[in-house]
Amino acid sequence: MGQEKSKPCSAGTDTVTAVRLAREVSLDARHPAEEWRAADCISFVADWQGKNPDPERETEVRLLDTPKTLYLRFECRYRELTVFDDTDANGRRDQLWDRDVAEVFLQPDPSRPRYYLEFEVSPNGAWVDLDISPEGLRNLESGMTRSVWLDREHHTWSAELAIPMRALTAHFDPAAEWRVNFFRVEGPREPRFYSAWRATNTPAPNFHVPEAFGKLRFGR
């Protein structure tokens, strides 16, 4: 991320902070904006049960925000790539989780524990966004934009997402504490590698465990 050092990543926290920006930034996963160097960083390498750590599949996550936008940057090490070649014209792909992805689950209102939002991006730039509730899931149509860079030489891929705040909450309060979790899926067939920031501890891989989510705070 440039010549200047970024903040070191934390692997043992249950809280991540989105650093407040004075202006909007452009997405460029290959050449990230200098603002990302000030972002807090969390990382994870273990599976959804907090076991079987694999440093060759490490995921780093950084967050920034403005009153209008929540920004996320994933930096992902990988062993192999498995992606869909077909998407909608705008890059959207249903069932994207059946291939390699990085995911964020956001819960802006923790008082509604079964309601949350899901955003996914793949190493080749496909994406999906979903509204999850006890009634099922529906397309969120958030207006999210993204930039993805695949570095095959170093076995890494990076993705930057910009999610409009209006798609996340009707009234953004930077003093509020949201719930959040981050995930990766990699591999062409079972057993695939399902990794999580905050372990869900289910017998079989399952990311839809909101009670396991960590905390998301906003810098002011």
**CA distance linking residue 120 with residue 148, whole number of Å:** 12
The CATH number of the domain holding residue 75 is: 2.60.40.1190
* Number of neighbours of residue 155 by Cβ within 10 angstroms: 15
Tens-place pLDDT, residues 98-151: 999 999 999 999 999 999 999 999 999 999 999 999 999 999 999 999 999 999
| Residue 199 maps to a domain | yes
| Residue 4 maps to a domain | no
Looking at the DSSP bridge assignments, the partners of residue 69 are: 164
Give me the domain span that covers residue 193: 9-218
- CB contact at 8 A, 76 and 184: yes
Q: For the chain, what is the domain count? A: 1
Percent of the chain with pLDDT over 70: 97
pLDDT band at 32 (very low <50, low <70, confident <90, very high): very high
Q: Is 105 exposed, middle or buried (0-12, 13-18, 19+ CB in 10 A)?
A: buried
| Residue 28 maps to a domain | yes
Tens-place pLDDT, residues 62-73: 999 999 999 999
| Residue 133 maps to a domain | yes
- DSSP per-residue letters across 171-210: S--TT--EEEEEEEEE-SSSSPEEEESS----SS-----G
Could you tell me the pTM of the whole model? Answer: 0.96
pLDDT for 3 equals: 44
| Residue 155 maps to a domain | yes
| Residue 53 maps to a domain | yes
User: Do the bridges between strand 15-20 and strand 214-218 make them parallel or antiparallel, or are there none, so unpaired?
Assistant: parallel
| Residue 1 maps to a domain | no
